[in-house]
A and B are shown apart, each in its own frame.
Chain A
Amino acid sequence: MSGQISEENTAYMPSPNIHSLSAPVLMSRKQTPSEFLKKIIGRPVVVKLNSGVDYRGVLACLDGYMNIALEQTEEYVNGQLKNKYGDAFIRGNNVLYISTTKRRG
């Protein structure tokens, strides 16, 4: 357990032991979602939609509505690669989550 955790607001703190990230975006102190969103621009991400479809690509930019612009996008349905898009814009209301990932070679 990291000794760096602030005492301020520990009502819910995700575990800092996130080893799956290549360059860590560790949540070792209080961090608002918007700070996280600024940090992950340029990284490979997984975007999961409410419909269950997965999009993997490099995050070009996003906004407060969770509208997302991705580059080199791959679309996975039921775990199967379905489509590839050079650029993709995803409307934010469909987004369930945005997650960083170690890009599979």
Chain B
Amino acid sequence: MADEPEPPVAQQTVEEPLDLIRLSLDERIYVKMRSDRELRGRLHAYDQHLNMIMGDVEETVTTVEIDEETYEEIYKSTKRNIPMLFVRGDGVILVSPPMRTGT
């Protein structure tokens, strides 16, 4: 067995999480951000800080109001559409392909 090529002892070339985001370039993505914000749009560019350029974005801002009397939580969401957007990376929590929520 002396002539067998040695397989790499470690696993295959490990991709970084940022490499996996690269696979989503030009695809629609879902971004969860701080301050209860969510974005759905097309990823045009990103960098190691997760600054992103997104196109055709729909932003959803979710707020919770608490009724003074009944103490029930009222969830409200506000949406707006933005044709082209620069996202500063430090606000980003999570990036994912968009969910098929069916709504």
Contacts and interface: CB of A to CB of B under 8 A. Distances in A.
A29 B18 CA distance: 31
A98 interface: no
Interface residues of A, number: 23
Q: What DSSP secondary structure best describes chain B's contact surface?
A: mixed
A67 B96 contact: no
A30 B38 CA distance: 42
Interface stretch (B53-61, B74-82, B87-95): B87-95
A69 B99 contact: no
Interface residues of B, number: 18
B86 to A, nearest CB: 17
Given A83-B99, A89-B96, A63 B17 contact: yes
A63 B18 CA distance: 9
Nearest to A93: B90
B83 to A, nearest CB: 24
B93 A94 contact: yes
B13 to A, nearest CB: 11
10 contacts: A49-B93, A63-B17, A69-B17, A69-B20, A87-B96, A89-B20, A89-B21, A89-B95, A91-B50, A91-B93
Interface of A: 41, 49, 51, 55, 60-63, 67-69, 73, 83-91, 93-94
Interface of B: 11, 14-18, 20-21, 50, 89-90, 92-97, 99
